[in-house]
Amino acid sequence: MITTVLLVTATLVAPATQDTLSRGLKDSLSVAARRVLADVRFLADDRQEGRGVGTAGLGRAGAYIWDGFARAGLQTSFQDFTVPPDAPAVLHTTLGGTATRNVVAILPGASPALRGEVVVIGAHYDHLGLGGFGAMDPDSTGRVHNGADDNASGTAALLEIARLLAHRHPARTVVFVAFSGEELGTLGSSYFVQHPVPQPVDSIYAMLNLDMVGRLRGARLLALGAATAKEFPSLLDSLNSGGHVRFDLRASGDGWGPSDHSVFFAARRPVLHFFTDLHEDYHRSTDDWDKINAGGIAQVAQFVADLAWALATRPGPLTFVDAPRPPATAGGSGYGAYLGTIPDMTGSPGGVRITGVRAGSPAEQAGLTAGDVITAIGAKVVANLFDMTDALRSHQAGDTVVIVVQRAGAEQRLTAVLGKRAS
Ligand SMILES: [Zn+2]
């Protein structure tokens, strides 16, 4: 996932509960969980060099994914492209013109009437390499950033979904894509939308994105973009109540977000982004495989496979619902002041609820605490995460600001000395 609005963040690690599962499913999931964990461990191994664009490690990861798709029985190919030198994030790097590739696998639709429509399931497989641009911990530049959650987890889920669906016969075509260049500004998904395989972009029925699904806690799963098709909320609800797995599912929001689905949403396709929420290892060298909930990834994979199946077989179109692009979110990493809160990514009415603060952060020193709802920073009213990002961008490190929060029904005014961002 890209560092944009997420700069204001990080979270806590707690074991996931799996007590919502039947015993028979627990047994079969443990097999799936072992497969998923093997994939995460390969992709997030130090040998893969943090899967930075242009590295041999990313090349090995791509070959591994190709192999996984092909072994599942799918028609598999590489989609080669070069990093555009003028992309905003690329300007911070020396990677312009570097060759890289998406990995694409196709499950052809069985219905002559519907096979021209495509359900795309995607996950990016690149990460930050040795840190530097995009990383939250500048002191770790030169250390391998393994990106086990971001996004070996989504890639492993994608491979598992491919295995679950490869021998079935959906009416619509299903296309699996592992994207490169996401951390440099959704480059692989942008290339794919400009050069879609095997059909034009208008034929894409829906796009399902898996980015950071490796830290399932308390069965809490976010399905962002649920407002991009009128049919999504009830479809997600019925799958969650009648399907294999029961999540504490938070389905909400438009299709703008800091990951590959937003590129498809910009092309006016319905999208969903599955996400097990942020944590304190986000974009740090500590995002490692031993903190991954592999059983949780397997559960998410099963759920998204069931959803993809429902989408690929249901009669009739989806009703796309557009939303205006939010202001000031593109290419926004690296400026503005640092507070160190951990926002609740599902949102809260009338402000930004926080689920915690980073140790030693300005937020902690100011006395902010889990459960506070931030309603203003300095002179700026904060109604949502975008306002909060804007407010922090309008300040510099060292500024003293009053932060207004709602706590236990009362308004509190706290004073924070803002810090400096990591990148
Ligand atoms: Zn990321």
**Token pair belonging to 421:** 């961002």
Q: Identify the pLDDT of residue 2.
A: 80
Q: What are phi and psi of 369, to 5 degrees?
A: -150, 165
Question: Which residue type occupies 30?
Answer: S
Dist. CA 363 → ligand 1 center (Å): 23
Q: Identify the pLDDT of residue 179.
A: 98
Q: Identify the pLDDT of residue 285.
A: 93
**Token pair belonging to 205:** 């029925």
Dist. CA 8 → ligand 1 center (Å): 14
Does position 133 have pLDDT exceeding 80, yes or no? no
Angle at 68 between CA 64 and CA 74, to 5 degrees: 135
Least confident of 218-227, 259-268, 340-349, 369-378: 340-349
Dist. CA 211 → ligand 1 center (Å): 8
Dist. CA 45 → ligand 1 center (Å): 17
Question: Which residue type occupies 294?
Answer: A
Dist. CA 114 → ligand 1 center (Å): 35
**In terms of pLDDT, which residue wins out, 14 or 217?**
217
Does position 16 have pLDDT exceeding 50, yes or no? no
Please compute the mean of the pLDDT values over residues 14-22 and round it to a whole number.
44
Q: Give the single-character DSSP code of 22.
A: -
Dist. CA 370 → ligand 1 center (Å): 24
Dist. CA 212 → ligand 1 center (Å): 8
Q: Identify the pLDDT of residue 147.
A: 97
* H-run or E-run covering 80: strand 75-82
Dist. CA 105 → ligand 1 center (Å): 23
Per-chain mean pLDDT for the chain: 89
Dist. CA 125 → ligand 1 center (Å): 10
Q: Identify the pLDDT of residue 388.
A: 86
Dist. CA 404 → ligand 1 center (Å): 30
Q: How confident is the model at residue 387 (pLDDT cuts 50, 70, 90)?
A: confident
Percent of the chain with pLDDT over 70: 90
Dist. CA 186 → ligand 1 center (Å): 10
Least confident of 76-85, 132-141, 368-377: 132-141
Cβ contacts of 288 within 8 Å, gap of 6 or more: 44, 146, 148, 281
Nearest to 258 by CA among 233, 283, 227: 283
* Residues with a beta carbon under 5 angstroms from ion ligand 1: 1, 150
Q: What are phi and psi of 10, to 5 degrees?
A: 145, 160
Number of Cβ within a 10 Å radius of residue 393: 16
Q: Identify the pLDDT of residue 25.
A: 59
Cβ contacts of 380 within 8 Å, gap of 6 or more: 387, 390, 391, 394
Dist. CA 31 → ligand 1 center (Å): 28
Q: How confident is the model at residue 7 (pLDDT cuts 50, 70, 90)?
A: very low
Q: How far apart are the C-alpha atoms of 296 and 230, rounded to whole Å?
A: 28
Dist. CA 365 → ligand 1 center (Å): 27
**What pLDDT digit, counting tens, does each position of 83-117 carry?**
999 888 888 888 999 999 999 999 999 999 999 99
* H-run or E-run covering 31: helix 23-43
Dist. CA 128 → ligand 1 center (Å): 7
Dist. CA 377 → ligand 1 center (Å): 26
**In terms of pLDDT, which residue wins out, 297 or 331?**
297
Dist. CA 142 → ligand 1 center (Å): 17
Q: How confident is the model at residue 314 (pLDDT cuts 50, 70, 90)?
A: very high
Q: Identify the pLDDT of residue 383.
A: 86
Q: How far apart are the C-alpha atoms of 62 and 411, rounded to whole Å?
A: 51
Dist. CA 135 → ligand 1 center (Å): 9
**Token pair belonging to 328:** 């000031």
Q: Identify the pLDDT of residue 423.
A: 42
Please compute the mean of the pLDDT values over residues 335-356 and round it to a whole number.
80
Least confident of 146-150, 171-175, 195-199, 215-219: 195-199
Q: How far apart are the C-alpha atoms of 22 and 29, rounded to whole Å?
A: 10
